[in-house]
A and B are shown apart, each in its own frame.
Chain A
Amino acid sequence: MQAELEMNQEQEIQFKQMKKKKSKKRLDSWLLLLPALSIFIFFFLLPLVFLFITSFKTFDAATGIGHDWTLQNYAKFITDQFYLGVLWRTVKIALITTLAAVIISYPVAYQITKIRGRMKNYLTLLVLSPLLISMVIRCYGWVILLSNNGVVNNALMKMGLIDKPLTLLYTEFSVVVGMVHVLFPYMVLSIMGSLERIDPSVIRASQNLGAGPIRTFFSVVLPLTLPGIFAGSVMVFSLAVSSFVTPAILGGPQVKVMSFLTYEQVSTILNWPFGSAIGFLLIFIATITIIIYSKLLTRSEKGVAIQ
């Protein structure tokens, strides 16, 4: 009886100690998170919530933001052909960019994963270097290349292919070229990841069964890397839809996209409520695509697993 009581007491003490330790641990974790969380809530969440509220306010020419509530900002966008055109152009440019990025990234990713040793490091560095060099500078390089008396036009005229310079700069074409150049590394990294995960014995099996390199590629390698292509596409598409620098430098006011429209409304026209509404529509589109894509991604991963 005595012994049992002691046991119980001991257990209780142990339990209390555990509880104390647990609550100390919880305190530790919140202390570690505190700086990050407070900056986030104060300088990220709050500003966005306030901007969201602004998007439901009326426009006041004197102060920018009026006092009355309205849905007019969103209604104006959805009913106006011009703004819907901008939305469609933004999505179109992002889609073409994503497609072009897949087409040009795949061979490069494939080549890099085949090579071994030092050369592989150098090529990886070459492919990733655009990430490290300022986006403004890279876009400026494209301005020099694509302008009316630029390198591309001069070369084409010397070859006698065209008589007068083509308008390349400040068109949807120049925006797509710039964006593919900027976003290319993300796609290569994603495809390289899935190529490197392929079990080499699968490829050997296909070759042993008599398939040539092309057939092996299309019926074994390509299907196995679909998840990587999907993942890369989500990233490139969502970055392309919301990117600002490239369309601002290579498209300008001639090729308006959603992000440029937001910037213009806020900083030139000073219509804050309408600018914020456009911004939140942009967030909405980016989020929707990511949700759709990730649904597709889980389905395609299941497909690969079944195969």
Chain B
Amino acid sequence: MRKVLPKACLNFFCILIYIFLAAPIVVVLLSSLTTTEYIVFPPKGITLRWYAELINHPEFMQSFTLSITVALGTSIISTIIGTMASIAVVRYEFRGKTAVTQLIGSPLLIPSVVFGVALLQFFSWIGLAASPVALVVGHFILTIPFVMRLVVASLVGFDRSIELAAKNLGAGSLRVFFQITLPVIKSGVIAGAIFAFITSFDDLTVALFIVSTDVVTLPVRIYTYMQYQYDPIITSVSSIMILLTVILMVVIERILGVGKVFSSKN
């Protein structure tokens, strides 16, 4: 009895928390099925009408394509440059190393709103208009601390003798990197790329300052739409995004395993 009661309490409490965690997501998914003109939960009747309605709103599709492009660009650039910088930081000793690592880690300390404002002022001064490139630059800064943390973690425990062996056998530095180093630190690099993609795809704060009327990312589109309208179209867009995330997660789980992705994070 002494052992069972605390455990039952713990489990009960945890179930309540899991409900709390799932509630907003479930509510969005279910209310996208309503037949009414307004959002209601539980939904009245079941229809896919609000998904079909999306055809009349090509702007959501445009924003979706833009967001995917920007997120892919950010993820690729951030991962390549981040991996290079991680190798420099882990493997070489040079003056100003701590300053460099602190500088690259500092976006975590700067509120994104302030960074967004600073970037907007700077972009308008140098005349760089709202464009996918401007968005990628902003998101690069936001994502690189995560990428570097993950890649550095996978580089630290690296046994360098296999690299030396390859070198002794006559392989050039590039070949050593692609055939020996990269396969070993693969999980850190992929985890970094995924985090960069998700952070960029999800970013509202910085994008809010950079976007213009023709260049609007999906989170900004959803945010501005819900300021003025309260119809279920938002819930169907959101549901599609949730489903895509779930699919992405299943794919990652199949390739890498959840434990791996998140354990290297600490």
Contact = CB atoms under 8 A, between A and B. Distances in A.
Give chain B's interface secondary structure class: helix
Interface of A: 25-26, 28-30, 32-33, 35-37, 39-40, 43-48, 50-51, 54, 104, 107-108, 110-111, 121, 124-145, 150-151, 181, 184, 189, 193, 212-214, 238, 241-245, 248-249, 259, 262-263, 266-267, 272, 275-276, 279-280, 282-283, 286-287, 290
B99 to A, nearest CB: 10
B230 to A, nearest CB: 9
A30 B114 contact: no
A25 B173 CA distance: 13
B28 A181 contact: no
Contact of A126 (B2, B18, B111): B18
B21 A51 contact: no
Contacts of A129: 21, 249
B117 to A, nearest CB: 5
B262 A128 contact: yes
B109 interface: yes
B9 to A, nearest CB: 9
Interface in B6-65: 6-7, 10-11, 13-14, 17-18, 20-28, 31, 39, 41
A50 to B, nearest CB: 6
Contact of A262 (B106, B117, B144, B265): B117
Contact of A151 (B41, B85, B202): B41
Given A51-B117, A125-B253, A130-B21, A107 B14 contact: yes
Interface size class of chain B, counting residues whose CB lies under 8 Å from the partner chain: 35 or more
B39 A35 contact: no
B10 A245 contact: no
A128 B120 CA distance: 32
A278 B219 CA distance: 25
Contacts of A279: 111, 113-114, 117-118
Nearest to B41: A151
B118 A245 contact: no
A272 B204 CA distance: 20
A212 B17 CA distance: 26
Given A108-B14, A189-B262, A212 B2 contact: yes
14 contacts: A28-B92, A36-B85, A37-B100, A40-B103, A44-B115, A47-B122, A54-B121, A107-B14, A135-B202, A136-B202, A136-B219, A144-B39, A145-B24, A181-B21
B81 interface: yes
Contacts of A145: 23-24, 27, 41
B118 A39 contact: no
A50 B24 contact: no
B94 A29 contact: yes
Contact of B222 (A127, A136, A244, A290): A136
A213 B6 contact: yes
Given A125-B249, A259-B111, A133 B84 contact: no
A29 B91 CA distance: 8
A282 B20 CA distance: 30
B191 interface: no
Contact of B84 (A32, A214, A245): A32
Nearest to A278: B114
B256 interface: no
B82 A124 contact: no
Contact of B114 (A51, A138, A243): A51
A107 B17 contact: yes
Contact of B258 (A125, A138, A243): A125
Interface in B207-265: 208-209, 219, 222-223, 226, 234-235, 238, 241-242, 245, 248-249, 253, 257-259, 262, 265
B104 A134 contact: no
Given A50-B122, A133-B245, A134-B245, 10 more contacts: A33-B85, A104-B20, A124-B258, A137-B222, A143-B226, A144-B31, A145-B27, A244-B112, A279-B117, A283-B111
B181 interface: no
Contacts of B234: 140
Contacts of B205: 244-245, 259
B125 interface: yes
A32 B87 contact: yes
Contacts of B100: 33, 37
A124 B259 contact: yes
Contacts of A193: 266
